[in-house]
Amino acid sequence: MQVCGPIFMEKPMTPFIQVVTTVADRGQAEQLAGILLEQRLAACVQLAPCNSFYHWQGAIEQSEEMVCTIKSRRDLFPELCRVIQANHPYQVPEILASPVVAGAESYLNWMEQELKPPQSE
């Protein structure tokens, strides 16, 4: 029984990525999500609260933040990264991309339709 429909696994990896960044509050997260969606650098941005513990300027810090999980495509990462940095409130924003190695074909097709088209070379 297939639980989530056809799975895209023809190639070792899809062209898609998930990018994670954190911001201080929901307002900042919603603003960043809106910018990324409007520019079609993201098909979806999920927001969730988290508690972060980290080293900063010689001390161990803790803060409540919002995690933004951004669904995008590898070729859009340089532009996505620039837009995040230009609109991010932190001096050193977390911007980490992970490959999407497989996924439900219908979801990946939907992502492709919602993202900015690939630039032809």
Q: Residue 16 falls within a domain, yes or no?
A: yes
Residue 10 pLDDT: 54
Domain annotation covers residue 89? yes
CATH of the domain at 70: 3.30.70.120
Residue 14's pLDDT is what?
Answer: 93
Q: Is residue 83 part of a domain?
A: yes
Residue 106: predicted pLDDT = 95
pLDDT at 119: 81
pLDDT computed for residue 12 by the predictor:
64
Tell me, what's the pLDDT at 1? 44
Residue 60 structural domain = 7-114
The total domain count for the chain is: 1
Per-block average pLDDT, block size 10, for the chain (121 residues)? Answer: 53 88 98 98 98 96 97 98 96 96 94 92 55
Q: Which phi-psi region, left, alpha or beta, contains residue 58 (left: φ > 0; alpha: ψ -120 to 50)?
A: left
Q: Is residue 2 part of a domain?
A: no
Tokens of 13: 């990896």
Q: 121 in a domain, yes or no?
A: no
The alpha carbons of the chain give a radius of gyration, in whole angstroms, of: 16
